[in-house]
Amino acid sequence: MVCSICGKKPKQLDYALPQVEFSCNNAIHSAIGKSPFSIVYTVVPDHVVDLVKLPIRQKSSVAAENLVEEVMVVRDEVKHKLEQTNAKYKVAANKHRRVKVFQEGNSVMVFLRKERFHVGTYSKLKPKKYGPFKVLK
């Protein structure tokens, strides 16, 4: 993104960084449904059009209780949206899995990943599968 803004002038990188930062913070994330800025500050950031001076109106200050309620609502929305997204990812990940049901007395092979061994004891020359073992229960 920085290259597309700088173009053929790489020495203008320091001028492009604030624009890139603003666009990343303002972009709506697909999993959350909100921008990172709006999650942290509970408001949408001002754009150039928002900075135009409008006629002065009666401004009211937001009480601390209202702000707390608003933050809690945003947090709950984000939590709910992330739970929905995680459920969708789980369904997609489980689509290619198959359920393995073993009966008592079946013979099985055990595959141990290198993470199961203590540090320094794993060797790529050791067997990866152990067995056959009988299923007891």
pLDDT tens-place string over residues 117-127: 888 888 888 88
Q: Is the dihedral of CA 61, 67, 69, 73 positive or negative?
A: positive
Q: Cβ(102)–Cβ(86) under 8 Å?
A: no
DSSP 106: -
Write the single-letter amino acid at 126. Answer: K
Over the stretch 70-97, which tens digit does the pLDDT of each residue have?
Answer: 889 999 999 999 999 999 999 999 998 8
End-to-end CA distance of the chain: 57
The two structure tokens encoding residue 37: 């800025």
Look at residue 82 in the predicted model and tell me its pLDDT: 95
pLDDT at 75: 92
Least confident of 30-39, 47-56, 68-77, 86-95: 47-56
Q: To 10 degrees, the CA torsion angle through 70, 73, 42, 65?
A: 20
Q: Which helix (H) or strand (E) holds 119?
A: none
- Whether this model's pTM surpasses 0.85: no
